[in-house]
Amino acid sequence: MVNFGKKLMADRIPEWKGYYINYKLMKKKVKQYGQQLQQGEKDRRRVLKDFSKMLDDQIEKIVLFLLEQQGTLAYRIEKLGKQRAILAEQPDISAIAELREAYREVGLDLIKLLKFVDLNATGIRKILKKFDKRFGYRFTDYYVTSRSNHPYSQLQQVFKHVGVGAVVGALSRNLADLQERQGSYLSIYDQPSTALKDPIIDMINSSVDKLTRSTNFLRFLGQHALIVGEESPSTAEEEEIEDQKYHFMSLMLNLVNTFLYMVNTYIIVPTADDYSVSLGAASTVCGVVIGSMAVAQIFSSVYFSAWSNKSYFKPLIFSSIVLFLGNVCYAMAYDMNSLSVLIIGRLLCGLGSARAVNRRYISDCVPARIRMQASAGFVSASALGMACGPALAGLLQWKFKIYMVTFNQSTLPGWLMAVAWLLYLVWLWISFKEPNRANEVNDTQQVPASVQRADIDKLENGLAQPLLRDSESKQEEDEDEEVDDSEEGAHDSRKPATSIGSAYRLLTPSVKVQLLIYFMLKYAMEILLSESSVITNHYFNWNTSAVAIFLAILGLTVLPVNAVVGTYISNMFEDRQLLMVSQITLLVGIIFSFKITSTYSVVQYVSSALVTFVSAEVLEGVNLSLLSSVMSSRLSRGTYNGGLLSTEAGTLARVVADGTITAAGYLGIGKLLNVTLLPSLVICAASITCTFLTYNSLF
């Protein structure tokens, strides 16, 4: 990823260059402050005072220029309004066309101003983050709180598009009226169905969305996937390279792999307790049966992520074969009367989890212009698989034998998935196209050997970094490097993380809190889903079909809930506000799920389950959306990327939750519900507390 200092220099408007944040100067000052503190030339209080004043001055420069430009735009719109009033009395088609173009010119200048604000807002966030990394992650909370809450706040002018809404409204109304009704007296309100939207207004709205970090449904789903790609290519050559790597059918095969894996995960949930009992174990052993897949996935995510550095086809082939064998073992365990074979089958299924490959393929091989759609497809495939799994289990209620092989509600899910993975394997072998990595290798031939050795890790991980050609350009780049404030060299600061430990060291406290939240919500969801068959059978005598319908309904809420949040709610509130509210709602759902009285009704269970599941879904989307925007760029690629970290956190939560179910079963089924809900309650309360403590840094 291009570092921000270079991006600022490349994207700024030349005639406005004196009004942008002086990011290079501030970065040097941060470095000087660190040296002065070490040498005792300044104390911490003086450093904080000097840095605050410098940043205040920079923000004031930006805001005063912003207000000046807003005034200029308002004056121009006012003048155009007077011309429009004259044309309303004496329509002239050519004059109306000229007026429309004049409005469009105002719109283009407004877009320039919005990009100016966006670049400066990003610069402020980055320099605060850089200062925190060097001095203890404490200054941002103070600075943002004191400046944004003050009645004379200039910081709010940068982070909020003050006055833009009125300008956009005026431009929208006038352009829409003038576009197709030149010389007509009809208003857009008279023919709303035929009103055409001007592309300039679309561009303005996109700029406003980016500035306020609001989002539509597609972008929200894409961020939900936590697929962090490089920035959009800046040259036609790079776009051509991306197009050469992209293959539609290969993308579809990755999405189908995601769908089938989620079906495979949840298709056994309604029948796992019955299967365990039929093999002589307690019904609560279903926790181990379900969770063994997650245990194996903790390890498979790492080796599949590493494998995808070299190939995508081979790990997908391996994944399909292992999943086929795992499902055969799962199905054959019934006739072999072996709980061990059952668990081995699920472990093999977990070892075949190629979700890390699916994520990496979208991040590395899908062109930037459609990467968000592909990311949304990844999330949609996961959600549909989660809903289809239990639904299919509810349909597989037959019982028959072929030779010595038994087919019933317990074994049919295994046989069905084995056939599905076999068919997928054939389709994969015929249709998948390995991306062309030759461009990445050829780049090394154009660079001196000394630089090749230094950059070999980047090239192996598929990173397309600009390579230095002489010592002078190297020195300039080192000065402008977007470094992490550790003891790493500037060159190393651009490498992806090479281990879980190095990836963990790149996490700020706010990101760690978000991973804790992800762990918490996955734990709560796994407890709800995995023990549903045992709980509903014990309290309500539900059969497998009833449990399957209930779980399928829960799964089907995923896309509608994300549609509402991504389309409407996230445009009205900040991510951190939604983060806090959804956690509190989840806490309420957990509390309401406890069995306190002597009776436990279906209404209480179903309503509390819906509140818990829906709030967890909202929380997951908002949490990963926020996480994708604040996580270090070094975690966007390589084996130990942000997607892997979140996957490991969620998978670990599932393992712990399923283990809790089995352990709590020794206390008796009557105590299972409350005992398993108690850890959810404690972890949820802890995550709310941590979110409150880091709230001001979540921006």
pLDDT band at 373 (very low <50, low <70, confident <90, very high): confident
pLDDT per position as a tens digit, 16-66: 989 998 988 888 888 888 888 877 777 777 888 888 889 889 888 988 888
Rounded average pLDDT over 411-439: 90
Percentage with pLDDT > 70 across the chain: 74
**Helices 355-365 and 286-307, packing angle to 10 deg:** 30
Q: What CATH number is given for 244-433+506-694 in this structure?
A: 1.20.1250.20
pLDDT per position as a tens digit, 297-353: 988 888 888 898 889 999 999 999 999 999 999 999 999 999 999 999 999 999 999
Q: Which two tokens stand for residue 546?
A: 């009833």
Q: Which CATH number fits domain 4-181+197-225: 1.20.58, 2.40.160, 3.30.70, 2.60.40?
A: 1.20.58
Residue 511 CB burial class (10 angstroms; 0-12, 13-18, ≥19)? buried
Distance between CA atoms of 187 and 322, rounded to whole angstroms? 64
pLDDT band at 371 (very low <50, low <70, confident <90, very high): confident
Instruction: Bin 466: left if φ > 0, else alpha if -120 < ψ < 50, else beta.
Output: beta
Q: Is 422 or 448 the better-scoring residue by pLDDT?
A: 422
Rounded average pLDDT over 467-493: 40
pLDDT of res. 687: 94
Rounded average pLDDT over 521-525: 93
pLDDT of res. 39: 78
Distance between CA atoms of 322 and 320, rounded to whole angstroms? 6
| pTM to 2 decimal places | 0.66
* Rg of the chain (C-alpha set): 28
Using CA atoms, how far residue 256 sits from 186, 259, 331, 393, 551, in Å, is 50, 5, 22, 19, 21
- Residue 121 pLDDT more than 70? yes
Rounded average pLDDT over 260-276: 94
pLDDT of res. 309: 83
Domain residue limits, the chain: 4-181+197-225, 244-433+506-694
Amino acid at 623: N
- Residue 441 pLDDT more than 70? no
pLDDT per position as a tens digit, 538-580: 999 999 999 999 999 998 888 788 777 766 676 667 778 888 9
pLDDT of res. 255: 93
How many other C-beta atoms are found inside a 10 Å radius of the C-beta of residue 540?
14
pLDDT per position as a tens digit, 636-677: 666 677 777 788 888 999 999 999 999 999 899 999 999 999
- Residue 143 pLDDT more than 80? no
DSSP string, 555-572: HHTHHHHHHHIIIIIHHH
Rounded average pLDDT over 606-632: 83
pLDDT of res. 158: 67
Span between the terminal Cα atoms of the chain, in Å: 21
Strand, coil or helix: 295: helix
Give me the torsion for CA of 253, 255, 261, 267, rounded to 10°: -110
pLDDT of res. 217: 56
Q: Which two tokens stand for residue 425?
A: 């394997």
Q: Which two tokens stand for residue 566?
A: 């991504």
Rounded average pLDDT over 584-602: 94
pLDDT of res. 86: 82
Look at 44-48, 256-260, 627-631 and tell me which has the smallest mean pLDDT.
Answer: 627-631
Distance between CA atoms of 343 and 177, rounded to whole angstroms? 67
pLDDT of res. 338: 95
Report how many helices (DSSP H) and strands (DSSP E) the chain contains, helices first: 31, 2
pLDDT of res. 652: 92
Using CA atoms, how far residue 471 sits from 215, 224, 449, 499, 644, in Å, is 43, 42, 14, 30, 36
pLDDT per position as a tens digit, 180-237: 544 444 444 444 444 445 677 777 766 666 665 544 555 566 666 656 544 444 444 4
Rounded average pLDDT over 429-455: 56
SS3 track for 39-104 = HCCCCHHHHHHHHHHHHHHHHHHHHHHHHHHHHHHHHHHHHHHHHHHHHHHCCCHHHHHHHHHHHH
Q: What is the total residue count of the chain? A: 699
Look at 42-46, 101-105, 452-456 and tell me which has the smallest mean pLDDT.
Answer: 452-456
Rounded average pLDDT over 125-142: 74
pLDDT of res. 486: 38
The mean of the pLDDT values for the chain is 79
Percentage with pLDDT > 90 across the chain: 35
- Residue 408 pLDDT more than 80? yes
Using CA atoms, how far residue 368 sits from 41, 244, 376, in Å, is 48, 13, 13
pLDDT of res. 223: 60
Strand, coil or helix: 472: helix
- Residue 530 pLDDT more than 90? yes
- Residue 249 pLDDT more than 60? yes
Using CA atoms, how far residue 229 sits from 160, 361, 369, in Å, is 27, 10, 11
